[in-house]
Amino acid sequence: MSKINGFVGRRNFLKLVGVGSVGIGASAVGSVLLQGEPAIAQKPTTTVAKPQPVSPQKALERLLEGNKRFVEGKRLNPHQSKLRLEETAVAQYPFAAILGCADSRVPAEIVFDQGLGDLFVVRVAGNVASQTAIGSLEFSTAVLGAQLIVVLGHAKCGAVIAATKGDPLPGRIGVFVEEIKPAVERVRKKTGSLEENAIIANVQYQAEKLAESSTILRGLINEGKLKIVGGRYDLASGKVTLLT
């Protein structure tokens, strides 16, 4: 049984996703999925020590420490050297995954003060747990070994605001807005700012959707190898506040 990041290997992952290990189709899926995976036949030009998996709690601490540095103007800009570039060209071991909004003001590596190979980031307007986002997060956890997913919403999120209004939208903009509407309905009658309440409700709703609609993610949670947490990013202060 091959192990990646001390975790689940190629064969197990394919089993997990219901793809057999025989047949042209399966091997094609495997080779496409696993490009960049460390457990490949070719010898890398640089050797990289395989790190221990980072526990959900440690990963969260690392992110919050990085965010604190960012807020205080004390960024270290870690893991951005030429050496890190060479190391990560061989293999990646992200210690956390982020499902964040595509908003230009919320770049995960900057607000958490991380570098190359640290975070597996899925960004889509409104941080919605779309099918493709879920698939990406399954890959980041089951194959790459990340044990933490942070669903990160933010103040003044245009996608959430659009969902509160419900106006017709051009092109495919309405596609992700539709995925936010169930969250808005949860708080429509709640007192206070609908916009603010909806931003928080949307983070919680998308986090629930990840765990409920993915058997892979749910399985990892049950094994204690994954934690999903929600956070809200404040555009003015740069601070990430965890949501419970």
Residues that bind Zn ion (CB under 5 A): 101, 103, 157
Residue 117: C-alpha distances to residues 94, 105, 194 (Å):
5, 21, 37
Smallest gap from Cβ 161 to Zn ion, in A, equals 9
Of the pair 203, 221, the CB lying nearest Zn ion is at 203
The least distance separating Zn ion from the CB of residue 177, rounded to whole angstroms, comes to 11
| Least separation in angstroms between CB 166 and Zn ion | 17
Select 119 or 157, whichever has its Cβ closest to Zn ion. Answer: 157
For Zn ion, the closer of residues 146 and 157 by Cβ is 157
CA distances in angstroms from 132 to 57, 82, 137, 142, listed in the order given: 26, 32, 9, 15
Burial code (b: 16+ CB inside 10 Å, e: under 16) for 142-176 equals bbbbbbbbbbbbbbebebbbbbbeeeeeeeeebeb
Least distance in angstroms from the C-beta of 125 to Zn ion = 6
N-to-C CA span, the chain: 37
CB closer to Zn ion out of 36 and 107: 107
Phi, psi dihedrals of residue 120, rounded to the nearest 5°: -100, 110
Q: Which residue has the tokens 């003044």?
A: 156
Structure tokens that stand for 100 in this block: 């964040």
Residue labelled with tokens 């245009």: 158
Residue 160 CB, nearest distance to Zn ion (Å)?
7
CA distance 63 to 114: 8
37 vs 103 by CB, closer to Zn ion: 103
